[in-house]
Amino acid sequence: MQLKINGALLELVQGDVTLQQVDAIVNAANQALAGGSGVDGAIHRRGGSRIMLETDCLYPQGCATGSAVVSGAGDLSANYVFHAVGPRWSGGNNAEAELLASAYQQCLSLACETNCRSIAFPSLSTGAYCFPLFQAASIALTTTMSFLQKRGAPELVRFVLFNRQVLEEFERALGNVQQLIEP
């Protein structure tokens, strides 16, 4: 599924984010930037040890929830990895929505700051951090569409979703978000 927004392209695809031919790949990182399972583990396995060595050196204090930091991409085909720390779901009353939106916003800003023309996102916070999938998809897409409407960049924002269920929830959320944004 594709959507043009202010000259930029937003895409939803099913696949492996580590295999994307883009300028930046987003990692669903933890606060310690210590590697983990899921997307984080896959990025570190495929990207090699240079990514962890670089983040350890550049960010010894880690990264705050709702923020993102940049490293090289090691053996990945991308130029950069943006390590985004989404919130753990704890019922929705601890600014989880705002923190998740901020993580996406920070990555999009980093893409512009590093002159990336393309970026690939996984679904942040919906795995081990248990954020409800449809709500997370709505936040991700609303944040991204708003950013693209204002900036028109990066040229390509691709959400690479691990399985059919996640892709379908993002497609459903995109339909709802479009109705809210477009008259």
Catalytic residue among 16, 23, 40, 56: 40
The distance of Cα 96 from the centroid of its chain, to the nearest Å, equals 15
- 119 SS3 class: strand
Cis peptide before 87 (omega within 30 of 0): no
Residue 16: strand, helix, or coil: coil
- Tell me if residue 40 is catalytic: yes
Q: Token pair 């060595």 is at which residue? A: 53
The sign of the dihedral angle between the CA atoms of 168, 174, 118, 46 is negative
In sequence order, the β-bridge partners of residue 11 are 2, 158
Q: SS3 sequence, 58-85?
A: HCCCCCCCCCEEEEECCCCCCCEEEEEC
CA-to-CA distance for 34 and 176, rounded, in angstroms?
A: 36
Q: Which residues are catalytic?
A: 40
